[in-house]
Structure 1
Amino acid sequence: MNTPKNAPCSPFTDGKADRSPVRVGALVPLSPPGWVEAGRHLLAGLDLAVREANDAGGIGGRPLELVVRDTAADPERAAAAVEELTDLGVAALVGEYHSVVARAAATRADALGVPFLCSSAVLDALTEGTTEWVARVAPVQSRGWRLYADFLLASGRKRIALATQPSVYWASGARVLRDRLAVHGGTVVELDAHALTPEALCDALVAHEATALLLLVGHPEPAVSLVKAVRSDGRLAELLIGAPAGQPEFAGWVARLGGAGAGVPFLRYLPAHFGPLAEHVEKQLEGDLGEAPSFVAFEGWDTVTVLVEALRSHGTDRAAIAASWPHLQVEGTRGPIGFSRTPETGVRQWTWAPVQIADRDPAAPGRFRVLHTD
């Protein structure tokens, strides 16, 4: 009997179970100028969830296989990786940390018709228009950065300076902050971190009578040099340094700055308290990484766990996976994960991951303080 052309794939071939791997492409920044530390944590989370899925029987008895490609924070390289992985027959794509890179990957995935579950990138407009192929675990930038602006206002900081570099991501964040602060009488001045030396930037902060400096710049440089310059300038002793993009989350921050890197509030996407699942994952990730996992590692684990549910419940066909996004309800490390449409983005979005504002404790820079949870 001939099998109809469009019939669903059978798990058996010639009477034997299909044991071929279900391949999933992973986009991760693993070399400079990508944020390698973030990429390492993201990959650790992805890897752990794959191992645990395979320990639990894989996808209908088929092993899950992660095919990793280093994006190096390069949008063109990411788009090329999407094409390569699509040609290799991956069922779906996961990962990416850098927003501009994720946008390039999402655009290409949409054009090629391959599902992409984005782990960590927050830029609101991940695609130009509405798509069924892309979903996202991380919250949108506008949500977190508005909360950060409210935190500044609540702490009495209304004269805000932004140290900036050219980037769609930084420009988007600056716009969110400016719009939110303006409603409540706040002011924002942008200082070009490329054109100004750290010392000249400190002079500008004094001239503008800034009460907070936000680092909308790359890590480690120029962020580290700017923090060192501000901390050593007696005129700026009362100035709050902030890093909404999350630079102080990683151990490399305190390794480079020590106590000077403490007391710098940043956004992270963790709940106020961990449940048993998150505690289990945290312990496993700490063993894999050799250090405490960042929120990015949890994003990686949640991403693969969601995709595993899609594969098990809807099959490995790409269109079926994309169609599953609005029907999924998965218990993640940071709460129940489901996807919906939102005004901010054309992709299927988890609404929402929890948001924290935290910093490193000046009394013990290796320890975090949670300043606000939403």
Structure 2
Amino acid sequence: MNANTKPSTPGAQRTDGPAVRIGALVPLTRPGWVEAGRHLLAGLELAVHEVNEAGGIAGRPLELLVRDTAADPGRAEAAVDELAGLGVAAVAGEYHSVVARAAATRADALGLPFLCSSAVLDTLTGQPTERVARLAPAQSHGWRTYADFLLGAGHRRIAVAADPSVYWASGTRILRDRLAPRGATVTELDMRTLTPAAVCEELLARRATALLLLVGHPEPAVPVVRAVRRDRRLADLLIGAPAGQPEFAEWAALLGEDGAGIPFLRYLPERLGPHGERVGTALRERLGEAPSFVAFEGYDTIAVLAEALRSHGTDDRARTAEAWPHVVVDGTRGQIRFSRVPGIGVWQWAWPPVRIADRDPAHPDRFRVLHSG
């Protein structure tokens, strides 16, 4: 058995027949965002467990074949090739957008259904496809909401501390396109050349009122936050993290009070319904901490795939892919159905809940909702 392969989840004793295999792509080692991967996998595994407890798919157990992408597109492509050869009915998962794009493109070329759990890059595939669907909101939708939040809070001089990446470049472009027509400026600070101290000087020179962290976590995001928080000249500056870094416990553990009051995109409703509350409790038990929205995305991924496999069969990948426009699932965060959205070449849930939230400075272990999209 491959070292990255997990055995079928407990609960399969209530089912018989050959397992229905699902490939799962998850970042579990650096430089991948390991905490996000751990939450995503917890959601996937919990849902597989519950499907099997309920009798599986037409009496057959679901089996999750997990592959660690480590945020490497090439590794993800190789994993898709391997999983296709192992006879999986579909591939699911992934958190990092550039990695998900590589996996989706490869799965499409192989005729393998792919359900993207958590990556948001608008162009998941180079051309429109019927085989790929996505649960997370497209980046253009969420980041426009973030831009509207900035405008509503009175920010017109915005700096972005950016690493080189297709994902970060896309985010910067979305922000600028939304903000510039409304009289706001977006200035890019190249983190390949600037130290955290130099970032502070640039912010002062440009009279920025907000700094957005379009960078990796924990490096260089954490040192930049510390530097800005400790510079009294920048006491009134808003720090923002649209990509969601403050969602995770590691952020709070590393930054403490410095990590509070930093708005980010959160794909959860303001209050979960009974189903979401039940799943949230089970996820907390698995994780030993509060589940992030990424854990709920993982759970909903399997719920959708299970319904697609029940309704369209388990042994014909083309028929499974045909299920996307017909699937309707009561997910943890609302009713899930897929449609075609202009500019998005895959089947898209339009839209999951989108909130701007932060960690409450008075209670950094609690979240506040600042804006709803």
Regarding TM over 0.5, the answer is yes
2:364 is aligned with 1:362: no
Q: Which amino acid aligns with 1:325?
A: W
Corresponding position of 2:213 = 215
Deviation string 1:74-105 (CA, Å, 9 cap, x unpaired) is: 00000000000000000000100000000000
Corresponding position of 2:286 = 288
Give the drift of 1:343. Answer: 1.1
Q: Indicate the structure (1 or 2) with the bigger Cα radius of gyration.
A: 1
Corresponding position of 1:332 = 331
Alpha-carbon distance in structure 2 between the residues aligned to 1:29 and 1:351: 25
Corresponding position of 1:125 = 123
Equivalent of residue 98 in structure 2, options 89, 97, 100: 100
Q: TM (normalized to structure 2)?
A: 0.95
Alpha-carbon distance in structure 2 between the residues aligned to 1:154 and 1:315: 48
Corresponding position of 1:10 = none
Asked if the contact 2:16/2:61 (under 8 Å) is kept, the reply is no
Deviation string 1:27-71 (CA, Å, 9 cap, x unpaired) is: 000000000000000000000000000000001110000000000
User: How is 1:151-300 mapped onto 2 (pairs within 5 angstroms)?
Assistant: 151-300=149-298
Corresponding position of 2:3 = none
Number of equivalent positions: 358
Alpha-carbon distance in structure 1 between the residues aligned to 2:294 and 2:166: 21
Equivalent of residue 302 in structure 2, options 291, 304, 309: 304
Corresponding position of 1:8 = none
Corresponding position of 1:342 = 341
Runs of 4+ in 1 over 3 A off after TM superposition: none
Corresponding position of 1:134 = 132
Equivalent of residue 38 in structure 1, options 36, 49, 64: 36
Deviation string 1:182-229 (CA, Å, 9 cap, x unpaired) is: 011000100011210100110000000000000000000000000000
Alpha-carbon distance in structure 2 between the residues aligned to 1:29 and 1:344: 27
Identical counterparts, % of pairs: 72
Alpha-carbon distance in structure 1 between the residues aligned to 2:371 and 2:210: 18
Give the drift of 1:337. Answer: 0.4
Asked if the contact 1:140/1:344 (under 8 Å) is kept, the reply is no
Alpha-carbon distance in structure 2 between the residues aligned to 1:90 and 1:257: 41
Q: Give 5+ residue unaligned stretches, structure 1.
A: 1-16
Asked if the contact 2:130/2:346 (under 8 Å) is kept, the reply is yes
Give the drift of 1:18. Answer: 6.7
Alpha-carbon distance in structure 1 between the residues aligned to 2:339 and 2:364: 38
Q: Which amino acid aligns with 1:219?
A: H
Equivalent of residue 25 in structure 1, options 23, 26, 33: 23
Give the drift of 1:273. Answer: 1.5
Alpha-carbon distance in structure 2 between the residues aligned to 1:69 and 1:222: 27
Alpha-carbon distance in structure 2 between the residues aligned to 1:271 and 1:134: 25
Deviation string 1:215-274 (CA, Å, 9 cap, x unpaired) is: 000000000000000000011000000000000000000100000000000001011221
Alpha-carbon distance in structure 1 between the residues aligned to 2:230 and 2:324: 50
Corresponding position of 1:322 = 321
3-state SS of 1:345 partner: coil
3-state SS of 1:58 partner: coil
Q: Which amino acid aligns with 1:28?
A: V
Q: Give 5+ residue unaligned stretches, structure 2.
A: 1-14
Deviation string 1:282-320 (CA, Å, 9 cap, x unpaired) is: 000000000000000000000100000001111012111
Give the drift of 1:373. Answer: 1.8
Root mean square deviation of aligned Cα: 0.8
Q: Which amino acid aligns with 2:180?
A: A
Corresponding position of 2:8 = none
Alpha-carbon distance in structure 2 between the residues aligned to 1:91 and 1:147: 35
Alpha-carbon distance in structure 2 between the residues aligned to 1:106 and 1:275: 31
